[in-house]
């Protein structure tokens, strides 16, 4: 690295650190603030002014969450869709990617175009909803799984990885009489594990984060995911925040509900964020490579 | 699934009897490869191509009552471009397009340079804990859902939230700004929220481009007496120009995709006139108000324009950079 010398360089470096510090603060502080608010007692939070540290420490909101049937159920559904959905997505995508990585595949170009075209053109929300409805996916758990099995972008990343694998091992296995499925399962998949884990984690994060499908495509309260429950809580908060004046005369009881849902909102946000915070730093190693691959996809 | 599998095999067989035995032999050889394509193929057919077929809804007056979906689908009256005319002539067309383009362009204006600046800054810092932490934290917002992001943004900007407190403590304002009750502010909120969420993640691609710069270039610049600022300006930045160009062109192709999640989750009825974009409009009319055919028409309008944009933009980028999307 360069040696820092002279006032000019010093000012330059100060500017650099200032920029990075600013980015660090605006990306970290909001999460910290939510965390602190979730640890402050509900009645005290209403007074406002909680910034860096809880004023009246309390675990009450987390206790409430653990008793909230809606949130607990939401957490269960979210967890389930993540552990069921992500591995299935990896399976479907890697099978497809392996096949498309074979240069000798008949009609490879056209099959590839069939998938890539969907990245650039879609039917839109309403026809999509009608299709889901016509195949009876609305208001079922499958609506979380089946529409998310394919992802062309992930497929291209995996295919690019598999194309670069040395062909010798596969060829010798072929001479031994193994078919393509066996070669994929015994040779290619184990070698591709790093890239498969990466897209698996991405798929898991997508599953964990997705809210619209649960919010719009399901009605059964038992099928609502944590994110969908959070949207509901957020809507309640907005109604409270933005109709302050007109509802000032509203009874205290209503306000008390709003207040308690407010601390729940912070705690629920934390619960939904925590798994992400724990997982995403491990992705770093892989996604730089994945993204560069994706950027120069053939 | 098994039924259609058998069907496809039969179709393949018929096809190849005509084509001759060599292709048939090849298919037989590759039967496992085709079998492995099948799950992804069927998913894409249903989830992506099904709705394309369903776009026909935009040209009929679909009414959900009566029979099954397909019965209604084929028996509703065909009305051509009536829904499109209705959209263009309605008072909604102008504000919706204005909001969509304004929010997109503002997001681009703030969100496009931000990751470049961040990448340049990260590149100047010595490898170490601070750099690692700064970088890792910077893309945390990218990985959380818009639901969480919206919760956070609304809390930060609420009347008693940290931003209002900070501005009041610094005596910039006397009383809290009601960010979400002022329509004009919403475009900026979207612009900054998008930037906040994706700046760190988008910086990765620039950082990757920076690592491929030949270090001899820096040495040569140093011999010529360039300080670090000059090196950044004359060596690092020019090396990023191809990446910057292609990403800028691509984002212009995406200009109609102003988003859905952020608008839907951050908006409220008092500022709808400024917050509503094509996608939220489609959702509200199509699904919430039950005007399915109208929603489908608005959605089709967007898909068609977006497709033309992306294809022309890709042709453009190919000419500029000899690089393309596909």
Residue with tokens 């898909």: B303
- From the list B141, B144, B303, the residue facing A122 with the nearest CB is B303
Q: Which pLDDT score is estimated for A297?
A: 41
Burial B243-257 (b: 16+ CB within 10 A, else e): beebbebebbbebbb
Residue B135: is it exposed, middle or buried by C-beta count within 10 angstroms (0-12/13-18/19+)?
A: buried
- H-assigned helices in chain A: 6-38, 42-45, 60-67, 69-100, 108-120, 125-134, 142-145, 152-163, 168-175, 180-183, 189-191, 193-209, 212-217, 226-242, 252-295
Mean pLDDT, residues A166-185 taken together: 85
Rounded to the nearest 5°, which phi and psi values hold at A104? -85, -5
Q: Which pLDDT score is estimated for B250?
A: 82
Q: What share of chain B is helix, strand, coil (3-state, %, to 5)?
A: 80, 0, 20
Residues of A in contact with B23 (CB under 8 A): 106
Q: Which pLDDT score is estimated for A244?
A: 52
Reference B259, options B106, B154, B143; nearest CA is: B106
Encode pLDDT of B189-203 as tens digits.
999 999 999 999 999
Say if residue A286's pLDDT is above 70: no
For chain A, positions 59-88, list CB contacts with chain B under 8 A: none
Q: Which pLDDT score is estimated for B1?
A: 43
Reference A32, options A282, A273, A207; nearest CA is: A273
State whether A20 and B130 contact (CB < 8 Å). Answer: yes
What is the Cα–Cα distance from A158 to A286, expressed in whole angstroms? 12
Q: Shortest Cα distance from B312 to chain A (angstroms)?
A: 12
ipTM metric? 0.88
Q: Which pLDDT score is estimated for A144?
A: 97
Mean pLDDT, residues B158-175 taken together: 89
Reference B195, options B105, B134, B275, B313; nearest CA is: B105
Share of chain B above pLDDT 70, in %: 91
State whether A34 and B260 contact (CB < 8 Å). Answer: no
Burial A122-146 (b: 16+ CB within 10 A, else e): bbbbbbbbbbbeebebbebbebbbb
Q: Which pLDDT score is estimated for A112?
A: 93
Q: Shortest Cα distance from A70 to chain B (angstroms)?
A: 17
Say if residue A54's pLDDT is above 90: no
Spell out the residues 6+ positions from residue A228 whose beta carbon is closer than 8 angstroms to its own.
A74, A211, A214, A215, A218
Q: Residues A206, A207, A208, A209: is their CA dihedral positive or negative?
A: positive
Q: Is pLDDT larger for residue B250 or for residue B190?
A: B190
Q: Which pLDDT score is estimated for A298?
A: 33
- From the list B126, B127, B147, the residue facing A227 with the nearest CB is B147
Pair of tokens at residue A135: 């195949």
State whether A20 and B134 contact (CB < 8 Å). Answer: yes
Residue B267 and residue B181 in contact, taking contact as beta carbons nearer than 8 Å: no
Spell out the residues 6+ positions from residue A289 whose beta carbon is closer than 8 angstroms to its own.
none
- From the list A34, A152, A210, the residue facing B152 with the nearest CB is A34
State whether B147 and A272 contact (CB < 8 Å). Answer: yes
Contact of B151 with chain A, judged by CB distance below 8 Å, is answered with yes
Cα–Cα distances (Å) from B147 to A199, A232, A235, B268, in that order, read 22, 10, 11, 15
DSSP for B6-39 reads HHHHHHHHHHHHHH-HHHHHHHHHTHHHHHHHHH
For chain A, positions 128-167, list CB contacts with chain B under 8 A: 128-131, 133-135, 146-147, 149-150, 152, 155
- Other beta carbons within 10 angstroms of residue A238's beta carbon come to 19
Mean pLDDT, residues B59-67 taken together: 79
Mean pLDDT, residues B225-247 taken together: 88
Confidence of residue A293 (pLDDT cuts 50, 70, 90): low
Q: Which pLDDT score is estimated for A28?
A: 95
Pair of tokens at residue A205: 């994060």
Mean pLDDT, residues A6-30 taken together: 92
Reference B233, options B211, B217, B257, B216; nearest CA is: B217
**What number of residues does chain A have?**
298
What is the Cα–Cα distance from A29 to A184, expressed in whole angstroms? 46
Residue B263 and residue B275 in contact, taking contact as beta carbons nearer than 8 Å: yes
Say if residue A166's pLDDT is above 50: yes
Q: Reduce the DSSP state of residue B108 to 3 states and report it.
A: helix
Share of chain A above pLDDT 70, in %: 86
Confidence of residue B315 (pLDDT cuts 50, 70, 90): confident
Q: Which pLDDT score is estimated for A246?
A: 44
Q: Which pLDDT score is estimated for A279?
A: 86
- Chain B residue whose CA is closest to A22: B134
Pair of tokens at residue A145: 């799984």
Say if residue A255's pLDDT is above 50: no
CATH assignment, A61-295: 1.10.3720.10
Q: Which residues pair with A57 in a beta bridge?
A: A40
Q: Shortest Cα distance from B310 to chain A (angstroms)?
A: 7
Reference B12, options B22, B23, B3; nearest CA is: B23
Pair of tokens at residue A108: 């490879």
Q: Which residues pair with A40 in a beta bridge?
A: A57
Q: Which pLDDT score is estimated for A258?
A: 47
Encode pLDDT of A120-164 as tens digits.
898 899 999 999 998 999 999 999 999 999 999 999 989 988 988
Q: Reduce the DSSP state of residue B112 to 3 states and report it.
A: coil
DSSP for B209-238 reads HHHTS-HHHHHHHHHTT--HHHHIIIIIHH
Q: Is the pTM of this model over 0.95?
A: no
Q: Which pLDDT score is estimated for B104?
A: 95
Encode pLDDT of B21-34 as tens digits.
677 888 888 889 99
Q: How far is CA A270 from the centre of its chain?
A: 15
Contact of A5 with chain B, judged by CB distance below 8 Å, is answered with no
Encode pLDDT of A197-231 as tens digits.
889 999 999 999 999 999 999 999 999 999 999 99
Q: Which pLDDT score is estimated for B159?
A: 84
Confidence of residue A59 (pLDDT cuts 50, 70, 90): confident
For chain A, positions 23-42, list CB contacts with chain B under 8 A: 23-24, 26-31, 33-34, 37
Q: Which pLDDT score is estimated for A1?
A: 44
Share of chain B above pLDDT 90, in %: 49
Q: Which pLDDT score is estimated for A21?
A: 95
Cα–Cα distances (Å) from B216 to A23, A139, B220, in that order, read 30, 61, 6
Say if residue A193's pLDDT is above 60: yes
Q: Reduce the DSSP state of residue A106 to 3 states and report it.
A: coil
Encode pLDDT of B44-58 as tens digits.
999 999 999 988 889
Cα–Cα distances (Å) from B294 to A26, A135, B73, B74, B258, in that order, read 41, 22, 14, 17, 20
State whether B39 and A95 contact (CB < 8 Å). Answer: yes
Residue B247 and residue B205 in contact, taking contact as beta carbons nearer than 8 Å: yes
Pair of tokens at residue A155: 């497929």
Encode pLDDT of B214-231 as tens digits.
888 888 998 888 888 889
State whether A126 and B152 contact (CB < 8 Å). Answer: no
Q: Shortest Cα distance from B191 to chain A (angstroms)?
A: 15
Q: How far is CA B50 from the centre of its chain?
A: 21
Contact of B116 with chain A, judged by CB distance below 8 Å, is answered with no
Cα–Cα distances (Å) from A177 to A7, A98, A180, in that order, read 71, 18, 10
State whether A180 and B311 contact (CB < 8 Å). Answer: no
Contact of B119 with chain A, judged by CB distance below 8 Å, is answered with no
Pair of tokens at residue A109: 């170009």
B211-218 CB contacts, 8 Å cutoff, 24+ apart: B212/B239, B213/B239
Q: Which pLDDT score is estimated for B83?
A: 92
State whether A149 and B40 contact (CB < 8 Å). Answer: yes
What is the Cα–Cα distance from B243 to B146, expressed in whole angstroms? 27
Mutation site for A-interface testing, chosen from B51, B126, B308 by largest number of A Cβ within 10 Å: B51
Q: What is the mean pLDDT of chain B?
A: 87
- From the list B147, B158, B299, the residue facing A241 with the nearest CB is B158
State whether B51 and A28 contact (CB < 8 Å). Answer: no
Q: Which pLDDT score is estimated for B324?
A: 44
Reference B32, options A175, A99, A80, A13; nearest CA is: A99
- Other beta carbons within 10 angstroms of residue A1's beta carbon come to 7
Spell out the residues 6+ positions from residue B186 whose beta carbon is closer than 8 angstroms to its own.
B180, B266, B267, B271, B274, B275
Confidence of residue A247 (pLDDT cuts 50, 70, 90): very low
- Chain B residue whose CA is closest to A133: B69
Say if residue B205's pLDDT is above 60: yes
Residues of A in contact with B12 (CB under 8 A): none
Show me where the domains of chain B are located. 2-59, 90-321
- From the list B51, B152, B165, the residue facing A30 with the nearest CB is B152
Question: Which range has the worst mean pLDDT, A60-69, A149-158, B97-106, B117-126?
Answer: A60-69
For chain B, positions 18-37, list CB contacts with chain A under 8 A: 23, 26-27, 30, 32-37
Q: Class for domain B90-321, per CATH? A: mainly alpha
What is the Cα–Cα distance from B17 to A188, expressed in whole angstroms? 33
Q: Which pLDDT score is estimated for B226?
A: 85
Say if residue B94's pLDDT is above 60: yes
């Amino acid at each position: 690295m360069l040696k820092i010398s002279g006032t000019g360089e010093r000012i330059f470096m100060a500017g650099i650190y200032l920029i990075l510090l600013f980015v660090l603060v605006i990306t970290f502080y909001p999460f910290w603030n939510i965390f602190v608010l979730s640890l402050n007692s509900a009645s005290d939070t209403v007074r406002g002014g909680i910034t860096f540290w809880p004023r009246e420490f309390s675990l009450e909101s987390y206790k409430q969450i653990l008793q909230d049937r809606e949130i607990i159920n939401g957490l269960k559904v979210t967890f389930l869709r993540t552990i069921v959905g992500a591995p299935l997505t990896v399976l479907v995508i890697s099978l497809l990617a392996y096949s498309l990585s074979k240069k000798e595949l008949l009609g490879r170009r056209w099959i590839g175009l069939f998938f890539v075209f969907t990245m650039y053109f879609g039917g839109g929300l309403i026809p999509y909803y009608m299709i889901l409805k016509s195949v009876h996916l609305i208001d079922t758990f499958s609506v979380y799984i089946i529409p998310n099995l394919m992802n062309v972008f992930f497929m291209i990343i995996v295919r690019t990885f598999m194309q670069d694998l040395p062909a010798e091992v596969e060829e010798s296995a072929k001479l031994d009489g193994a078919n393509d499925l066996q070669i994929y399962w015994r040779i290619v998949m184990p070698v591709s594990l790093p890239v498969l884990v990466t897209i698996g984690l991405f798929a898991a994060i997508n599953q964990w984060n997705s809210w619209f499908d649960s919010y719009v495509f399901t009605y059964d309260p038992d099928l609502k995911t944590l994110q969908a429950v959070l949207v509901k809580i957020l809507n309640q908060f907005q109604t409270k925040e933005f109709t302050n004046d007109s509802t000032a005369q509203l009874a205290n009881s209503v306000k008390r509900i709003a207040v308690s849902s407010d601390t729940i909102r912070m705690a629920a946000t934390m619960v939904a964020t925590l798994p992400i915070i724990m997982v995403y730093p491990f992705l770093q190693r892989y996604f730089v490579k994945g993204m560069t691959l994706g950027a120069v996809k053939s | 699934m098994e039924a259609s599998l058998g069907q496809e095999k039969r179709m393949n067989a018929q096809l190849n009897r005509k084509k001759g035995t060599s292709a048939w032999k090849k298919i037989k050889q590759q039967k496992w490869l085709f079998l492995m394509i099948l799950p992804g193929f069927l998913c894409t057919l249903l989830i992506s191509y099904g709705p394309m077929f369903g776009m026909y809804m935009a040209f009929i007056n679909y009414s959900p009552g009566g029979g099954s979906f397909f019965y209604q689908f084929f028996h509703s009256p065909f009305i051509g471009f009536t829904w499109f005319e209705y959209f263009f002539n309605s008072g909604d067309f102008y504000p919706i397009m204005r909001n969509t383009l304004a929010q997109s362009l503002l997001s681009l204006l703030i969100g496009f340079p931000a990751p470049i600046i961040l990448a340049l800054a990260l590149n100047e810092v010595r490898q170490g804990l601070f750099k690692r932490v700064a970088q890792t934290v910077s893309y945390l917002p990218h990985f959380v859902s818009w639901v969480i992001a919206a919760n956070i943004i609304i809390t930060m900007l609420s009347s008693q939230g940290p931003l209002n407190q900070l501005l009041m403590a610094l005596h910039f304002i006397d009383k809290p700004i009601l960010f979400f009750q002022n329509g004009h502010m919403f475009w900026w909120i979207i612009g900054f929220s998008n930037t906040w969420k994706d700046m760190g993640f988008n910086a990765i691609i620039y950082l990757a481009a920076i690592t491929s710069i030949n270090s001899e270039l820096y040495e040569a610049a140093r011999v010529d007496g360039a300080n670090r600022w000059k090196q950044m300006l004359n060596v690092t930045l020019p090396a990023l120009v191809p990446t910057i160009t292609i990403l800028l062109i691509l984002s212009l192709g995406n200009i109609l995709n102003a988003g859905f999640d952020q608008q839907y989750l951050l908006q409220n009825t008092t500022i709808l006139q400024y917050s509503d974009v094509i996608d939220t409009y489609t959702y509200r009319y199509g699904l919430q108000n039950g005007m399915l055919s109208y929603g489908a028409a608005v959605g089709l309008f967007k898909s068609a324009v977006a497709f033309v944009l992306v294809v022309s933009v890709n042709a453009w980028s190919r000419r500029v950079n000899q690089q393309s999307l596909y």
